[in-house]
Amino acid sequence: MSRISCEVIQDLLPLYYDKVCSSASRALVEEHLTACAECRELLDQMSGDIALPLPESGSRTSLNARQLEENGLRRIQASWKRSKTFAFVRGFLLAAAACAILYLGYLGLTEWNITRVPSKVIRITEVSQLHNGRIAYHVKMTDGYAVNQVKGVWDDDRLYLVPVRPLIKTRKFADISLANTYDTLNLEQIRANRKAMGKSPDVRAIYYGSPEEPILLWEQGIELPPASAALEAQFQFN
């Protein structure tokens, strides 16, 4: 290892004398002092019991002493500032991470539609066929909670319309959401979409609810009653 310069050692002497430097720095100073008479003399002056007279103004020793003191103070101040800055940044990052986790958890519980609505609270009425061939129906969730999404799940040639909601349910807008609405099914469009996906266009049946608890809306061969005039008027522009 290359020899440490006197200037560096003299910067460390005040910390070495006050016994506040690290063990590694202390070892470096002691190793240097064994071979440097000038630095040993400077340490002896700092350790003397009798106060020494002030050196003449402008002398090298006076300048070195003042420089040592100033450098030592500057190093301590810089280290303290770095510690404060590091602690602040670390605290800020930890707080930001905690807030992000809480926010994502909130979204997961209140916004992500991952819970299927049980069929026992689904009521399907007014299933009928419009003049344009579409199937119309009314759906209502009898538990009074809102539904914001209905997912289409295929099982071979059977389609299941599965309503889903977040883990934390809400009654807000339940009467005007998918939990209480009229809707239609366009069989021709459904067949065209399957054909575009490279699948057979055949559709045997359509259900509302999960595959485990399906409610039949339509199946091949079934003859639905014609829709009422009110339903025809409601969907005349669709």
Can you give the pTM of this predicted structure? 0.58
What pLDDT is attached to residue 65?
61
Cβ density class 201-229: b for 16+ within 10 Å, e for less = eebebbbbbbeeebbebbeeeeeeeebee
For the chain, the C-alpha Rg in angstroms (whole number) is 41
Q: At what angle do helices 37-47 and 23-33 cross, to 10 degrees?
A: 120
What is the tens place of the pLDDT at every residue in 58-82?
445 555 666 666 676 677 777 677 7
Residue 119's pLDDT band, with cuts at 50, 70 and 90, is very high
* Contact predicate 190/158, CB 8 Å: no
| CA dist list (Å): 200 to 161, 194, 195, 204 | 19, 6, 6, 11
Residue 52's pLDDT band, with cuts at 50, 70 and 90, is very low
Q: Summarize the confidence of residues 122-126 as an average pLDDT.
A: 97
- Average pLDDT of the chain to the nearest whole number: 86
DSSP 198: T
**How much of the chain exceeds pLDDT 70, in percent?**
86
